[in-house]
Amino acid sequence: DQQVKQNSPSLSVQEGRISILNCDYTNSMFDYFLWYKKYPAEGPTFLISISSIKDKNEDGRFTVFLNKSAKHLSLHIVPSQPGDSAVYFCAARRSGNTPLVFGKGTRLSVIA
């Protein structure tokens, strides 16, 4: 049973346009959500996070939106750059010493 789902395995966007990566979750106990970016031959790196008490968090070109009623979050990258081409993982947790639960990832390709 996959609790965090990234239904788009891949996404292709033109440089300068907006990239929107989506993530759905099933566990209503999740209260904190994170996005990680992974380049080939490297480990994932933390990108941005959001607490369930918020519905938006922004950091430079990256914005994460959370819709608790729909159990859905999205990552917006504006404007997209070729260096953003990577695999993006959505992760979620619930409070307490429980591990992060990751989605399967979405491969973003930003075309120059």
Partner 1 sequence: KAGVTQTPRYLIKTRGQQVTLSCSPISGHRSVSWYQQTPGQGLQFLFEYFSETQRNKGNFPGRFSGRQFSNSRSEMNVSTLELGDSALYLCASSVGAANNEQFFGPGTRLTVL
Contacting positions for partner 1 (CB under 8 A): 6, 9, 32, 34, 36, 41-46, 49, 89, 91, 93-94, 96-105
Q: Which is nearer to partner 1, 38 or 79 (CB)?
A: 38
Contact indicator for 21, 36 with CB cutoff of 8 Å? no
Residue 111, Cβ density class (10 Å: 0-12 exposed, 13-18 middle, ≥19 buried): exposed
Q: Cα separations (Å) of 34 from 12, 23, 46, 57, 77? A: 22, 11, 8, 11, 15
CB of 98 to partner 1, least distance (A): 6
Q: Which is nearer to partner 1, 8 or 79 (CB)?
A: 8
CB of 49 to partner 1, least distance (A): 7
CB of 16 to partner 1, least distance (A): 29
The helix (H) or strand (E) run that includes residue 99 is none
Q: Which is nearer to partner 1, 2 or 67 (CB)?
A: 2
